[in-house]
């Protein structure tokens, strides 16, 4: 699949935006400015950017917590995300939720429930609705390698396969689930082998190559959109930070990190764009400058934003409130 | 007006709501051609087709999650649990996803989960449980439990039209044993409103579900002893109709709380605590709870009878209060 220059540069922009936003969150975390935890997708940004960018406007993303690229691409701004991290009223959820536990239906993004893989069946349900209504929309649902051990992963995959639902299941296989390495998570070498049991086609891609992720997702979406049913895409990558920023990840062998550092998804994209004379260094630096400015503005916006009123705690429980 | 059974009332509500609104659909095990374990969806598959009466894999968490996802994109799914007992497999989706969506990120989740619950049918520990207590401590859910055909129909319609997740507890014992009149025309019974099942002045019996009928029988016996009972049928368990509870306490000053659910940490415990907190000065005697003992539901007829509160248990509780 040929990716247009304009799209390649957008992919690069979103990789940078995701990285720089989360890097800034990491700094703020260490300064004690983040209210709760800080989980980043560092090293694995190409997964969320690739599958997120391949979606059409009316499609739905049912993400997990290392999917910052998806949030940004769908239209949830860096400003709202920063404010979310600081527990501000202007955050995506107005302070009701923290960090990456966001969702916004206006942008076709389902909220991320912490319980990993919950969004597999939930995503399948949206795909079911599209199928019932005969709409040509698709869903992308994502989880980590650890999440694929949960029942909801299997229940969601099975239901989607049986009913040939228009959904693509993505797995960010970053080798670790918190401290648990893949070999203690499953007795198979590739997560994608799980799809076999459901009669579902699968694909393994280099999760550090955003173009590969984008292309595989795009193709799978088109199959799903045209009635061909679900696909499972395993993106092989490496979590380069701790599970969360409090975690030094001493349990990950240094050599493994060194090896993956050379395969950094942003470095990879930058090299590709320059070697193939798609963009010059100056142009890419320009994009990076723009990203840095955006992050600075987002942080300032978040800092200046008001906190929610304590009374908000009692609001919004029900969509149809019941009078006492 | 016409006379129909409790089960027919459920069937009629399903059929009429599906005819009224194309976004309403049913999913669960064996609900399609077979018509459901209790025949609640019999004939609907012919009328609405296999995509609106959707047979799912044996996968409670999967299809409950799918209902949530479909609801997020504009459908009004009705999940049928084959027996309420199996709702435990979907606990996570209901408690962490459905219940919290609106509060966390502002997304309405209009799903109904039909839960055929309760004992007295010799179903043993896994086909007889009262499950309302599992969910009573979950803000964001609504729980209803009709005791008459009229309420079964009206509450199911209200639940389907409501924008929040509603657990609809339908008592299996009542399916074919209860008959009463319902109007020919469309009506709903509002969620959140209890009803006075019997007016009286000496003692209040606060109850719901099949126990309403046990209370009515007990009141008949007590009437012969010149004791006048007021029976409050809660109808909605979450949130409780506090006003109705306080009004009856203020009227009779003596309260029996009656339910088939096991005693510890029960609905009755909460009703009792509410009265203590807000109506203590109106009490002439301690509140008595008549409830199932804290054991699984036993199988043998003799033991099950000992487990489920009987008319004589209610009569003696009321008499105890009268002699206080
Ligand atoms: C059901 C469930 N159990 C435990 C947790 C706590 N937890 C959060 S992330 C995580 C590890 C997730 O690993 P994986 O699915 O591989 O995703 P990754 O963090 O590697 O991206 C754990 C155990 C959780 N969120 N959900």
Q: Report the distance separating Cα A38 and Cα A194, nearest Å.
A: 30
Strand B24-28 to B203-207 pairing: unpaired
CA distance B250 to chain A (A): 18
Among candidates A185, A198, A223, A143, which has minimal Cα distance to B65?
A143
In this prediction, residue A323 carries a pLDDT of: 82
Neighbouring residues of B48: CB distance < 8 A, sequence distance ≥ 6? B18, B25
Written as six digits, the tokens of B307 are 């487990």
In this prediction, residue A37 carries a pLDDT of: 92
Looking at CATH, the fold of the domain delimited by B2-182 is given as Rossmann fold (3.40.50)
For chain B, strand residue ranges (E) read 2-5, 24-28, 53-55, 76-80, 112-117, 142-144, 166-171, 179-182, 195-198, 203-207, 229-233, 236-238, 255-262, 288-292
Percent of chain A with pLDDT over 90: 99
Question: Which of A103, A155, A316 is closest, CB to CB, to B62?
Answer: A155
- Our mutation pick for probing the ligand 1 site, out of A146, A173, A234, counting the most ligand atoms within 8 A of Cβ, is A146
Q: What are the residue ranges spanned by the domains of chain B?
A: 2-182, 195-322
For chain A, strand residue ranges (E) read 60-62, 139-144, 167-173, 176-177, 180-181, 202-206, 231-236
Q: Does ligand 1 come within 6 angstroms of the Cβ of A115? A: yes
Alpha helices by DSSP H, listed for B137-179, are: 149-161
Residue pair B194/B237 in contact by the 8 Å Cβ criterion: no
In this prediction, residue B252 carries a pLDDT of: 98
Q: ipTM of the predicted structure?
A: 0.98
SS3 A181: strand
SS3 A143: strand
In this prediction, residue A146 carries a pLDDT of: 98
CA distance B290 to chain A (A): 26
Q: Is there a cis peptide before residue B242, judged by omega within 30 degrees of 0?
A: no
B25 in reach of chain A (CB within 8 A): yes
The model's confidence at residue A324, banded by pLDDT at 50, 70 and 90, is confident
B280 in reach of chain A (CB within 8 A): no
In this prediction, residue B62 carries a pLDDT of: 98
Interface test with B, best of A122, A147, A169 (most B CBs within 10 A): A122
Q: Phi, psi at residue B198, to the nearest 5°? A: -150, 130
The model's confidence at residue A237, banded by pLDDT at 50, 70 and 90, is very high
The model's confidence at residue A1, banded by pLDDT at 50, 70 and 90, is confident
CA distance A319 to chain B (A): 6
The DSSP code sequence of A59-107 is: -EEE--TT-HHHHHHHT--HHHHHHHHTT-TTSTTTTSS-TT---BGGG
The answer to whether the Cβ–Cβ distance between A123 and B69 falls below 8 Å is yes
- How many C-beta atoms lie closer than 10 Å to residue A261's C-beta? 12
Instruction: Summarize the confidence of residues B244-258 as an average pLDDT.
Output: 98
The answer to whether the Cβ–Cβ distance between A159 and B63 falls below 8 Å is yes
- In terms of residues, how long is chain B? 324
In this prediction, residue A80 carries a pLDDT of: 98
Residues of B in contact with A122 (CB under 8 A): 65-66, 68-69, 72, 93, 97
Residues of B noted as catalytic = 127
With a cut of 90, say whether residue A318 has pLDDT above it.
yes
Among candidates B66, B199, B34, which has minimal Cα distance to A120?
B66
B182-203: pLDDT as tens digits: 999 999 999 999 999 999 999 9
Residues of B in contact with A162 (CB under 8 A): 57
B195-322: which CATH number, 3.30.230.10, 1.10.3720.10, 3.40.50.920, 3.30.70.2190?
3.40.50.920
Instruction: Summarize the confidence of residues A261-273 as an average pLDDT.
Output: 98
In this prediction, residue B18 carries a pLDDT of: 98
3-state DSSP helix/strand/coil % of chain A, to nearest 5: 50, 10, 40
With a cut of 80, say whether residue A160 has pLDDT above it.
yes
A138 in reach of chain B (CB within 8 A): no
Q: Does ligand 1 come within 6 angstroms of the Cβ of A116? A: yes
Neighbouring residues of B117: CB distance < 8 A, sequence distance ≥ 6? B83, B84, B85, B129, B130, B131, B132, B169, B170, B171, B172, B209
Question: Which of B51, B72, B192 is closest, CB to CB, to A105?
Answer: B72
The model's confidence at residue A157, banded by pLDDT at 50, 70 and 90, is very high
B11 in reach of chain A (CB within 8 A): no
Domains and CATH numbers, chain A: 5-309 (3.40.50.970)
Q: Report the distance separating Cα A173 and Cα A22, nearest Å.
A: 19
Q: Does ligand 1 come within 6 angstroms of the Cβ of A241? A: no
Would the CATH topology of B2-182 be identical to that of B195-322? yes
B147 in reach of chain A (CB within 8 A): no
In this prediction, residue B207 carries a pLDDT of: 98
A118 in reach of chain B (CB within 8 A): yes
Separation of CA A307 and ligand 1 centre (Å): 29
Written as six digits, the tokens of B316 are 């003696």
Instruction: Summarize the confidence of residues B120-125 as an average pLDDT.
Output: 96
Residue pair B163/A320 in contact by the 8 Å Cβ criterion: yes
Separation of CA A177 and ligand 1 centre (Å): 6
Q: Report the distance separating Cα B156 and Cα B188, nearest Å.
A: 8
A164-187: pLDDT as tens digits: 999 999 999 999 999 999 999 999
Question: Which of A118, A126, A319 is closest, CB to CB, to B108?
Answer: A319
Among candidates B202, B197, B161, B203, which has minimal Cα distance to B180?
B197
Q: Report the distance separating Cα B38 and Cα B248, nearest Å.
A: 36
- Per-chain mean pLDDT for chain B: 98
B163 in reach of chain A (CB within 8 A): yes
Instruction: Summarize the confidence of residues A45-53 as an average pLDDT.
Output: 98
Written as six digits, the tokens of B314 are 């209610």
Residues of B in contact with A126 (CB under 8 A): 69-70, 72-73
With a cut of 80, say whether residue B42 has pLDDT above it.
yes
Instruction: Summarize the confidence of residues A295-323 as an average pLDDT.
Output: 97
Instruction: Summarize the confidence of residues A214-242 as an average pLDDT.
Output: 98
How many contacts, defined by CB atoms under 8 Å, are there between A and B? 148
CA distance A17 to chain B (A): 23
Instruction: Summarize the confidence of residues B296-317 as an average pLDDT.
Output: 98
Residue A271 CB-density burial (10 A; 0-12 exposed, 13-18 middle, 19+ buried): exposed
């Amino acid at each position: 699949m040929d990716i247009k220059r304009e799209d390649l540069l957008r992919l690069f922009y979103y990789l940078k935006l995701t990285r720089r936003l989360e890097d800034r969150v990491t700094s703020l975390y260490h300064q004690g400015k983040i209210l709760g935890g800080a989980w980043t997708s560092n090293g694995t940004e190409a997964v969320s950017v690739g599958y997120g960018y391949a979606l059409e406007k009316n499609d739905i993303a049912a993400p997990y917590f290392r999917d910052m690229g998806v949030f940004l691409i769908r239209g949830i701004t860096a400003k709202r995300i920063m404010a979310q991290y600081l527990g501000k009223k202007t955050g995506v959820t107005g302070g009701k939720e923290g960090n990456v536990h966001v969702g916004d239906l206006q942008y076709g993004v389902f909220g991320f429930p912490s319980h990993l893989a919950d969004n597999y069946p939930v995503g399948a349900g949206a795909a079911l609705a599209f199928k019932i209504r005969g709409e040509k929309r698709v869903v992308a649902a994502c989880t980590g390698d650890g999440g694929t051990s949960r029942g909801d992963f299997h229940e969601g995959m099975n239901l989607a396969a049986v009913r040939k639902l228009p959904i693509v299941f993505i797995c960010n296989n970053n080798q670790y689930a918190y401290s648990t390495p893949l070999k203690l998570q499953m007795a198979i070498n590739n997560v994608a082998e799980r799809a076999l049991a459901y009669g579902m086609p699968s694909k393994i891609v280099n999760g550090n190559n955003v173009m590969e992720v984008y292309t595989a997702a795009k193709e799978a979406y088109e199959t799903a959109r045209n009635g061909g049913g679900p696909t499972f895409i395993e993106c092989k990558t490496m979590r380069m930070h701790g599970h969360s920023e409090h975690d030094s990840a001493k349990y990950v062998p240094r050599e493994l990190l060194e090896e993956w550092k050379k395969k950094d998804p942003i470095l990879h994209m930058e090299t590709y764009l320059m070697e193939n004379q798609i963009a010059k260094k100056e142009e890419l630096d320009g994009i990076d400058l723009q990203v840095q400015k955006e992050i600075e503005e987002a942080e300032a916006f978040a800092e200046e934003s008001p906190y929610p009123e304590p009374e908000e705690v009692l609001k919004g429980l029900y969509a149809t409130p019941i009078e006492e | 007006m016409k006379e129909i059974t409790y089960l027919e009332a459920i069937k009629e509500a399903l059929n009429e709501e599906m005819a009224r609104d194309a976004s309403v659909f049913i999913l669960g095990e064996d609900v399609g051609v077979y018509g459901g374990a209790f025949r609640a969806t019999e004939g609907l598959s012919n009328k609405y087709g296999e995509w609106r009466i959707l047979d799912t894999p044996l996968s409670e968490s999967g299809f409950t999650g799918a209902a949530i996802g479909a609801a997020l994109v504009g459908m009004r799914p009705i999940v049928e649990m084959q027996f309420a007992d199996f709702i435990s497999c979907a606990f996570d989706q209901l408690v962490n996803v459905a219940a919290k969506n609106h509060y966390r990120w502002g997304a309405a989740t209009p799903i109904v989960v039909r839960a055929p619950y309760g004992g007295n049918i010799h179903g043993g520990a896994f086909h007889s449980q009262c499950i309302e207590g599992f969910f009573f401590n979950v803000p964001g859910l609504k729980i209803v439990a009709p005791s008459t055909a009229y309420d079964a129909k009206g509450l199911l319609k209200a639940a389907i039209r409501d924008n929040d997740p509603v657990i609809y507890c339908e008592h299996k014992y009542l399916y074919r044993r209860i008959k009463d009149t319902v109007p020919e025309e469309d009506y709903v019974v509002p969620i959140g409103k209890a009803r006075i099942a019997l007016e009286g002045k000496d003692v209040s019996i606060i109850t719901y579900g099949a126990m309403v009928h046990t209370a009515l029988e007990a009141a008949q016996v007590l009437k012969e002893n010149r004791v006048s009972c007021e029976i409050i049928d809660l109808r909605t368990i979450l949130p409780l109709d506090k006003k109705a509870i306080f009004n009856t306490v203020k009227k009779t000053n003596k309260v029996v709380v009656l339910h088939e659910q096991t005693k510890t940490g029960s609905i009755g415990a909460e009703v009792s605590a509410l009265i203590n907190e807000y109506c203590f000065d109106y009490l002439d005697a301690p509140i008595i709870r008549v409830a199932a003992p804290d054991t699984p539901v036993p199988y043998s007829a003799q033991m099950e009878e000992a487990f489920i509160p009987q008319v004589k248990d209610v009569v003696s509780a009321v008499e105890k209060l009268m002699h206080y």
